[in-house]
Amino acid sequence: MKIKSLIPFALLLTMGMVSITGCQKGDLINNPNVAGSNSIVPLSLLLNHITATLIRSDEQPWGYSAVANQYVVANYSYYRGTNTYNFGNTSDSYDILKYTLKLEQQATSQLGNQSNKYYALAQFFKAYSGVWLSQRVGDIPFSQAGDANNLTPKYDTQHDVYKTALAQLENANTILGAIITGTPSLANTVLDASGDIYGLTYQQWQKVINAYHLRVLISLSKRATDNADLQIPQQFAAIIGNSTKYPLLTGNSDNLVYKFNATNRYPTFSLGLNPYNNFANAGATYVGISTTTQDPRLYVTTTPAPLQISGGKDISDFSAYIGSDINQAQPALLTNSNNGLYSFNSYSRYYVSATGANAEPFVFIGYSEMCFNIAEGLNRGWAAGSTATWYTNGINASLALYGLTNGQTLTVTFPISSTEVSINPKKLKQGDAWGTATVNIPQFIANVAYAGDNAAGLTQILTQKYISMFNNSGYEAFYNFRRTGLPAFAQGGAGIGTPNNLIPRRWQYPASESAYNTANYKAALSSQFGGNDDLTKDTWLTK
């Protein structure tokens, strides 16, 4: 049993923050290797921990988020896990918040003010931790979390969590903006080379914070007209209308990119998936959209279904790409996959380099998503501007992330180990050249030309945002589907694995919460879900 499983949800914030130097008896002595709550902790060290742990393993490429987003479908659980949406009890974000509160406290005490770069980043991380957990479960302990004198913090409503987070993001931008205005040379200076694993400059961090601010505002679209105090459209318009006060990402070079290396290996290697491309297929939701629009990104990420090619189709024929249906039970998926019915993901791109050298960068908060978020807000009438321009910018940024140029010849390699003559008549080995395809960007752009500021245009924005998030951005594609229903995820079949075969609307609270913060936990369930920790119920965010 992992020790963490015994740690109360509401107590996580106090660990490492409570002094152990109180009255002690007998032969007990203070541990000289453990700092007390009033000790000085290097700010870079705290920042390093936060940035290194910001992104969870299941949010990375090929983690469970890729399944929840229906980019990939496992056909054999032993090697690639299940496809079921049995979310169960969520993990939490309180490790991030715990260290963020310490960063905030240490930045204030060491630097003597709350207008420094570390305090600004602490405001961002605090907002991030609250949104991360609240969007999973609903109401959470937030305003009282971290108080060592209150081990049963009250739950803030989801509305209040978001209201606080939006104010914190505004404050983070204001602080960094003032620092850069005071010393303009800092704009393009790395904020903390030893502590920040992303290596962003002062201005890049400011841009990321504002791009995330737009993400949060867009996530509140269902509450934009019935919660006037949040000023959702007004905040959106202010951010995109004042580039001096709110600098935004200007291209992929500003993206928040999580980097892999020989120590922090690419997930197909760190998760032990690299020999087992046979046991997962490309998802039908992703493949179906891409084939319909003749999207050249499909040639990069995905291979044709082997049976389609052995049957005479060309590698470049979009009709040869067949996605796996997550609705089906795994035994049927495995049989179909072994018979060559489904497409696979590119072996040579994702399964041969432990550092992910061949794969596209893993963008967690990026320019392409920001463009689509702006386009969505404009489509909804939150501000004036050219929706089509932002929509097209988002598509082009995603194409650039894959290094695609018009007329480019791409080599598609054989994806699996198979001696089955019907699907591998040429006896190709995994990774052997299988054929080529030519990139036709003008045709693709014409196929997805913006339909206008109407429902059809909104569908296009959300669909292309989904495609751009392939194996990126954690659960954002799922959250967008949950909020809008677009693109339509497959559900209703036995493969979904829930009692009603439908995708859940939320996660359950951590199991420890009911044991250690019982009264507040029960009150939160009563006020939100009729007393039950029900996965089928919407929270305030998505009702």
Name residue 201's beta-bridge partners: 190
Residues 196 and 279 in one domain: no
Domain-located, residue 47: yes
How far does CA 209 lie from the centroid of its chain? 15
Question: Sorting pLDDT into bands at 50, 70 and 90, what band is 22?
Answer: very low
Last residue of a domain, one of 470, 487, 504: 487
Q: Can you tell me the mean pLDDT for 405-423?
A: 96
Q: Residue 493 is encoded by which pair of tokens?
A: 């079949």
Q: Are 184 and 303 within one domain?
A: no
Residues 277 and 416: beta-carbon distance below 8 Å: yes
Residues, the chain:
543
Whole-number pLDDT of residue 63: 95
CATH code (residue 329): 1.20.120.840
Place of tokens 């001696």: 419
Task: Examine the pLDDT at 14 and tell me if it is beyond 50.
Answer: no
- Name the pLDDT band for 13 (thresholds 50, 70, 90): very low
pLDDT attached to residue 3: 30
- Nearest of 279, 280, 300, 256 to residue 467 by alpha carbon: 300
Q: Is residue 229 part of a domain?
A: no
pLDDT at residue 21 above 50?
A: no
Say how many domains are in the chain. Answer: 2
Sequence-separated (6 or more) residues with CB below 8 Å from residue 338? 420
Query: Which spans in 183-327 are helix H?
Result: 202-219, 232-241, 267-270, 284-293, 297-301, 306-310
Decide: helix, strand or coil at residue 157: coil
Query: Among 280, 278, 281, 284, which residue's Cα sits nearest to residue 493?
Result: 284
Same domain, 341 and 465: yes
Quote the mean pLDDT of the chain.
Answer: 93
Query: Distance between CA 309 and CA 251 in Å, rounded?
Result: 38
Q: What is the pLDDT of residue 151?
A: 87
Average pLDDT of span 192-196: 97
> How high is the pLDDT of residue 2?
32
- Residue 37: band (very low, low, confident or very high) from pLDDT cuts 50, 70, 90: low
Same domain for 483 and 359: yes
One domain, residues 465 and 337: yes
Q: 355 lies in a domain?
A: yes
181 & 271 share domain: no
Q: What percent of the chain has pLDDT over 70?
A: 93
Report yes or no on 234 lying in a domain: no
Residue 97 has pLDDT above 60, yes or no: yes
Looking at 337-351, 436-450, 503-517, which range is the least confident one?
503-517
Region 243-256: mean pLDDT is 98
Residue 153 DSSP class: P
pLDDT at residue 33 greater than cutoff 90: no
Query: Is the distance from CB of 415 to CB of 430 less than 8 angstroms?
Result: yes
Looking up residue 149, the CATH number of its domain turns out to be 1.25.40.390
- pLDDT > 80? residue 538: yes
Sign of CA dihedral 108, 214, 284, 258: negative
Does position 412 have pLDDT exceeding 50, yes or no? yes
In a domain, 124, yes or no: yes
Query: 98 falls in which pLDDT band (50, 70, 90)?
Result: very high
The answer to the question of residue 23 being in a domain is no
Out of 436, 455, 487, a domain closes at 487
On whether both 157 and 282 belong to a single domain, the answer is no
| Amino acid occupying residue 92 | D
Radius of gyration of the chain (CA): 24
pLDDT at 38: 72
pLDDT at 536 over 60: yes
Based on the fold, state whether residues 194 and 303 are members of the same structural domain. Answer: no
Average pLDDT over residues 380-409: 98
Residue 512 placed within a domain: no
* 283 and 418 both lie in a single domain: yes
Q: What is the pLDDT of residue 246?
A: 98
144 and 288 together in one domain = no
Tell whether the model's pLDDT for residue 492 goes beyond 90. Answer: yes
Rounded distance between C-alpha atoms, residue 496 and residue 494, angstroms: 5
195 & 314 share domain: no
- What pLDDT score does 32 carry? 55
Is the distance from CB of 296 to CB of 400 less than 8 angstroms? no
Largest CA distance in the chain: 83
Q: Given this model, what pLDDT does residue 249 score?
A: 98
In-domain check, residue 221: no
Q: Which residue has the tokens 């305090």?
A: 119
Query: Residue range 201-220: average pLDDT?
Result: 98
Q: Assign 512 a pLDDT band (cuts: 50, 70, 90).
A: confident
Inform me whether the pLDDT recorded for 16 exceeds 90. Answer: no
- The range of the structural domain enclosing residue 282 comes to 267-487
Look at residues 153, 182, 200 and tell me which one is the last residue of a structural domain.
Answer: 200
Task: Give the integer Cα–Cα distance in Å for 347 and 414.
Answer: 7
Task: Check residue 147 and give its pLDDT.
Answer: 86
Quick check: 130 pLDDT over 90?
Answer: yes
Q: Which residues pair with 280 in a beta bridge?
A: 74
**What are the start-end ranges of the E strands in 285-424?**
362-365, 409-413
> What's phi and psi for 126, nearest 5 deg?
-65, -45
Tell me the whole-structure pTM to 2 decimals.
Answer: 0.93
**Domain match, 131 and 280 both:** no
pLDDT in tens, 265-295: 999 999 999 999 999 999 999 999 999 999 9
Whole-number Å distance between alpha carbons of 288 and 78: 27
